Amino acid sequence: MASNTNVWNVRNVLNWTGKYLSKISKSPRTDAEILLSYVSNQNRLWLYTNFDLKLSKEMLKKFREVVELRFKGVPVYHITGEKYFMALKFKVNDRVLVPRPETEELVEHVIMDSKKMKWKRFVDVGCGSGIIAVSIAKYLPNSHVWAIDVDRSALDLTYENAKLHDVSKRVHVKKSEVEHVDVVVSNPPYLTQSEWEELPELHHEPYKALVGGEDGNNVYKYILQKYSPKVFYFEIAHPFRQSLKDVFEENGFNYKIFKDLSKRERIAVVWK
């Protein structure tokens, strides 16, 4: 790390790192702040209230190491092992899909409707890190959520995150199906094989979390056959695919599609 200033205080370190990471990141300043928060074990607000604080040699050494990892392309959340979702902090790792902000909108729909309808029993199919199951349990205190995944490490991580948020008694981590639920929620793998091949930036994330077979619909079909809840809430690919529309219609389902804040078709609410 070279600099035209001799003082490595919080301000200068963030400025320098922001510029350095701009060569490889679309959010260099944010990356710099998250990484410095991580090595200093403080939140980002603390950085702003301690701009003039000089960093110790040990902290600078640790910071340089994580900045170099970021520079080589390692995502920030893989370095820190955590990501925020629905204002809750989740542990993440490279064996699960990293939580995406648009999935928050799916969960918000579920929570809003469930409060009105007094739904209490949920299944999250393809729980990954557990963000959906744990958020529902956290924001609906009378709920029970069964969290299911084909991947053992996803189940382990969901359990850890449920414990972290004190909802492990109401988040039931399972490898198999459950019956008699009000709502099935899922953000299934929905890329087609050819879409995935054209998106190399996703290739560091697990294949089976991303690809839903040749047409992207395999896991939707499986869920619709396997469960009979009052309603399904799915995250979907944008634009809403004709082939998925056909799956719903050919199996006698009604559906309504909602857009996310970026006006992209994102949520399918499906019922019989």
Nearer to ligand SAM, 99 or 216 (CB): 99
- The closest of 132, 135, 150, 148 to 95, measured between CA atoms, is 150
Q: Establish if 75 lies at the interface with ligand SAM (CB under 6 A).
A: no
- Given 219, 231, 247, 268, the residue binding ligand SAM (CB under 6 A): 219
What six digits make up the tokens of 33?
Answer: 């702040």
Q: Establish if 103 lies at the interface with ligand SAM (CB under 6 A).
A: yes
Q: Which stretch binds ligand SAM (CB under 6 A): 38-46, 59-67, 114-122, 148-156?
A: 148-156
What six digits make up the tokens of 34?
Answer: 């998250």
Which residue bears the tokens 């980002």?
A: 44
Q: What is the rounded CA–CA span in Å between residue 116 and residue 119?
A: 8
Q: Establish if 189 lies at the interface with ligand SAM (CB under 6 A).
A: yes
Q: What is the rounded CA–CA span in Å between residue 214 and residue 141?
A: 39
Which residue bears the tokens 């579920």?
A: 110
DSSP of 4-64: S-S--BHHHHHHHHHHHHTTT-SSHHHHHHHHHHHHHT--HHHHHT-TTPBPPHHHHHHHH
Q: What is the rounded CA–CA span in Å between residue 254 and residue 272?
A: 6
Q: What is the rounded CA–CA span in Å between residue 10 and residue 49?
A: 10
Q: Establish if 33 lies at the interface with ligand SAM (CB under 6 A).
A: no
Q: Establish if 148 lies at the interface with ligand SAM (CB under 6 A).
A: yes
Q: Which stretch binds ligand SAM (CB under 6 A): 43-51, 97-105, 159-167, 253-261?
A: 97-105
Q: Establish if 216 lies at the interface with ligand SAM (CB under 6 A).
A: no
Q: Establish if 151 lies at the interface with ligand SAM (CB under 6 A).
A: yes
Q: What is the nearest approach in angstroms of ligand SAM to the Cβ of residue 222?
A: 5
Q: What is the nearest approach in angstroms of ligand SAM to the Cβ of residue 101?
A: 11
**171-174 and 88-91 strand pairing:** unpaired
- Given 47, 125, 145, 155, the residue binding ligand SAM (CB under 6 A): 125
Q: What is the rounded CA–CA span in Å between residue 8 and residue 69?
A: 20
> Site size for ligand SAM, by CB under 6 A?
23
Give yes or no for a contact between 229 and 201, defined as CB atoms under 8 angstroms apart: no
Nearer to ligand SAM, 119 or 233 (CB): 233
Nearer to ligand SAM, 20 or 227 (CB): 227
Q: What is the rounded CA–CA span in Å between residue 157 and residue 147?
A: 11
Q: Which stretch binds ligand SAM (CB under 6 A): 51-59, 70-78, 125-133, 134-142?
A: 125-133
What six digits make up the tokens of 107?
Answer: 């969960």
179 CB burial (10 A radius; 0-12, 13-18, 19+): exposed
Query: For 246, phi and psi rounded to 5 degrees?
Result: -60, -40
- Given 35, 154, 183, 247, the residue binding ligand SAM (CB under 6 A): 154
Q: Establish if 165 lies at the interface with ligand SAM (CB under 6 A).
A: no
Q: Establish if 187 lies at the interface with ligand SAM (CB under 6 A).
A: yes
Q: Which stretch binds ligand SAM (CB under 6 A): 70-78, 137-145, 185-193, 256-264?
A: 185-193
Enumerate binding residues for ligand SAM (CB under 6 A). 96-97, 99, 103, 125-129, 131-132, 148-151, 154, 187-189, 208-209, 219, 222
